Amino acid sequence: MIKERLISRSIVKHGVMLIINRLIVLKIFGQAAFLFGLLGWFYGVLVQLIHPEFLATTLSHLIPWIRVDTFTMVSFVIALFGFIVWRFTKEQQ
């Protein structure tokens, strides 16, 4: 009897728990995107302040198609998107 109640409760709550778990994962990805995007943006700003002649160079010899200034702009957009996702998935208190 108790086991049947637990099973029925878990089935009813399964859809809700699945949504909550997805929101938790989305929140974690939002925080990570915000953090790493902000760190990439700080890197680009520091390069611009210290060695502005490096902005037009490639970020690495392994990825020659992206420049430092492009990486800085993309990092800022990723940080902004991550912050918005993180704030929208924040729990209400």
Q: Which amino acid is present at 28? A: I
What mean pLDDT value characterizes the chain? 82
Helix 68-88 crosses helix 2-50 at what angle (to 10 degrees)? 150
- Residue 10 pLDDT greater than 90, yes or no: no
- Do the beta carbons of residue 34 and residue 87 sit within 8 Å? no
In a domain, residue 93? The reply is no
Q: What does the pLDDT average to over 69-87? A: 94
* Structural domain total, the chain: 1
For the record, the structure tokens of 27 come out as 């929140």
Q: How confident is the model at residue 17 (pLDDT cuts 50, 70, 90)?
A: low
Do 20 and 72 form a contact (C-beta atoms < 8 A)?
Answer: no
pLDDT value at position 16? 59
Say which residue, 38 or 8, is predicted with more confidence.
38
Statement: residue 89 has pLDDT above 80 = yes
Look up the domain containing 6 and give its range: 2-88
**Cα dihedral: 82, 62, 72, 45 (round 10):** 120
Over residues 60-77, the mean pLDDT reads 91
